[in-house]
């Protein structure tokens, strides 16, 4: 009888143990991970409700108790950079998880649509042809640069988990990395000499509203049109999944929260070009909401302004100009920066090949605004225009080191009188300003530069950085 009772108790305890959940870390915490230096680092995962979990790393040992849903989180105090891989250990009653080769350095999140997804050299994406790809791959020996690519996932509500793994940079792996992310990381790594982690969460051909959180979309009554438009889309709409408002935030951004980051890089806007006016508010709201969800203050948020391209269904030729203006207006938010790419586009290819320069320009912004390097990070920015006789004199910020037209006459300037009709105009450099005039506009009142989808834009400052497209009017 006693033997039978003990056997039954053993079976019951065995069944209870089998039902007990293993301690598990969130997918971002894996072998070869990079943790953010100099910040509090949240580490989280799942276990049995009420279970005590301890995490040990870099001389710290911190414990937490899983809540009623089995979620737990601990906070590591600020970490010093380390290029030597270390172990992170998470322990509970039933099991221990050991992560190996964990580094500490700088972590950036790269997100957006296809131009951020554009890879260094991946045969699965034949439309993405990076210039000098073979040479770049052969020279990609940077084991302290690590990438985590989030698997595509749409979710109707905020998801907990994401699929992916950390990969060290080598000639055998770099081909599948985001080209913009890689060239940015390479520049920063060479500059500051610490490990760089890049988390890429991208989906080609997607609009900004898919990347916005439910809270962000609900935070402005004017955004109701976004959900209403989506609800009217037919069931066989080709982008039915990936275009769902908040669907990509729920599936591909929420699972990353609140991973400690240095900043965010963003390359998107092509899919919103037909509604540039709407994008102005959506983009700014997305930035503000992401910062709130991350809980790390106004972390740096830098993006790429759309390059030159001629959309086949834009007879007016200015949809992308409006979207570029909407992107530039988000610079009013603190801690933001914009890499101008108007001069390195391809009128016939929505995926321009020169991602090296895109990554370099983003890195210049980061070096100046984040890492305290004394570097020029902006091309000329429109500061105002005044009529001088029959010409307009255009003033610029970030032109103290002079202006240049890259060895040929200035292109892509236009003037208008009170009739609001713009005509091509001649332009010449006058120290740190530009004089613009046209015989067809003897009394000019407005000036524009590169105000079309694709332009031969060749105004630079002395640092070789391009002027952002602009207009002096608000017509």
Q: What CATH class has 23-102?
A: mainly beta
The torsion defined by the Cα of 367, 373, 378 and 381, in degrees rounded to 10, comes to: 130
Residue 76 has pLDDT above 70, yes or no: yes
pLDDT in tens, 111-157: 999 999 999 997 777 777 898 999 999 999 999 999 999 999 999 99
Mean pLDDT, residues 430-452 taken together: 96
The torsion defined by the Cα of 398, 404, 405 and 408, in degrees rounded to 10, comes to: 180
Mean pLDDT, residues 343-350 taken together: 92
Contact 304, 267 (CB under 8 A): yes
User: d(Cα 446, Cα 263) in Å, to the nearest integer?
Assistant: 37
Contact 139, 186 (CB under 8 A): no
Count of other CB atoms within 10 angstroms of residue 389: 11
pLDDT in tens, 168-194: 999 999 999 999 999 999 999 999 999
Contact 59, 76 (CB under 8 A): no
Lowest mean pLDDT, pick from 10-24, 227-241, 279-293: 10-24
Give ranges for CATH 3.40.50.1110 in the chain: 105-369
pLDDT in tens, 370-404: 999 999 999 999 999 999 999 999 999 999 999 99
Give ranges for CATH 2.60.40.10 in the chain: 23-102
Mean pLDDT, residues 327-344 taken together: 97
Count of other CB atoms within 10 angstroms of residue 164: 19
Mean pLDDT, residues 451-464 taken together: 92
Per-residue confidence at 20, pLDDT binned at 50, 70, 90? Answer: low
The whole-number pLDDT of residue 448 equals 98
Per-residue confidence at 356, pLDDT binned at 50, 70, 90? Answer: very high
Residue 254 has pLDDT above 80, yes or no: yes
- pTM of the model as a whole: 0.94
CA-CA-CA-CA torsion sign (306, 308, 313, 316): positive
Fold annotation for 105-369? Rossmann fold (3.40.50)
Residue 12 has pLDDT above 50, yes or no: no
Distances (CA, A) of 52 to 15, 61, 64, 92, 317: 20, 13, 6, 6, 61
More confident residue, 295 or 6: 295
């Amino acid at each position: 009888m006693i033997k039978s009772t003990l056997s039954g108790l053993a079976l019951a305890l065995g069944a209870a143990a089998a039902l007990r959940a293993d301690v598990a870390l969130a997918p971002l915490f894996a072998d070869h991970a990079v943790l953010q230096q100099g910040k509090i680092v949240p580490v989280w995962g799942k276990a049995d409700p009420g279970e005590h979990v301890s995490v040990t790393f870099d001389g710290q040992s911190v414990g937490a108790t899983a809540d009623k849903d089995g979620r737990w989180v601990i906070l590591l105090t600020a970490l010093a950079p380390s290029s030597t891989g270390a172990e992170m250990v998470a322990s509970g009653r039933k099991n221990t998880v050991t992560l190996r080769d964990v580094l500490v350095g700088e972590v950036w999140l790269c997100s957006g649509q296809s131009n951020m997804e554009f890879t260094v050299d991946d045969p699965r994406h034949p439309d993405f042809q990076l210039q000098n790809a073979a040479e770049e791959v052969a020279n990609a020996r940077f084991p302290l640069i690590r990438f985590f690519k989030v698997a595509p996932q749409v979710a109707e509500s905020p998801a907990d988990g994401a699929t992916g793994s950390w990969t060290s940079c080598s000639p055998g792996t770099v081909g599948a990395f985001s080209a913009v992310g890689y060239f940015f990381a390479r520049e920063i790594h060479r500059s500051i000499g610490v490990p760089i982690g890049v988390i890429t969460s991208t989906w080609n051909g997607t609009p900004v509203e898919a990347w916005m959180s439910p809270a962000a979309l609900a935070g402005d009554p004017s955004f109701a049109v976004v959900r209403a438009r989506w609800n009217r889309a037919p069931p066989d709409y080709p982008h039915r999944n990936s275009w769902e408002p908040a669907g990509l935030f729920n599936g591909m951004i929420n699972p990353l929260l609140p991973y400690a980051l240095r900043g965010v890089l963003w390359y998107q806007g092509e899919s919103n070009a037909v509604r540039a006016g709407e994008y102005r508010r959506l983009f700014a709201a997305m930035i503000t909401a992401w910062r709130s969800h991350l809980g790390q203050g106004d972390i740096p948020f830098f993006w790429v302004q759309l390059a030159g391209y001629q959309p086949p269904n834009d007879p007016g030729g200015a949809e992308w100009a409006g979207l570029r203006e909407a992107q530039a207006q988000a610079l009013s938010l603190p801690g933001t920066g914009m890499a101008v790419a108007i001069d390195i586009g391809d009128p016939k290819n929505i995926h321009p090949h020169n991602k090296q320069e895109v990554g370099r320009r983003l890195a210049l912004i980061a070096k100046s605004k984040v890492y305290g390097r004394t570097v020029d990070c902006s091309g000329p920015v429109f500061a105002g225009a005044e009529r001088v006789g029959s010409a307009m004199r255009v003033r610029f910020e970030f032109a103290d080191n002079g202006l240049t037209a890259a060895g040929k006459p200035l292109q892509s300037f236009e003037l208008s009188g009170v009739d609001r009709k713009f005509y091509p105009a001649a332009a010449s450099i006058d120290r740190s300003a530009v004089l613009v005039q046209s015989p067809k506009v003897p009394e000019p009142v407005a000036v524009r530069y590169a105000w079309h989808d694709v332009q031969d834009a060749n105004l630079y400052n002395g640092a070789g950085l391009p002027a952002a497209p602009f207009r002096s009017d608000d017509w």
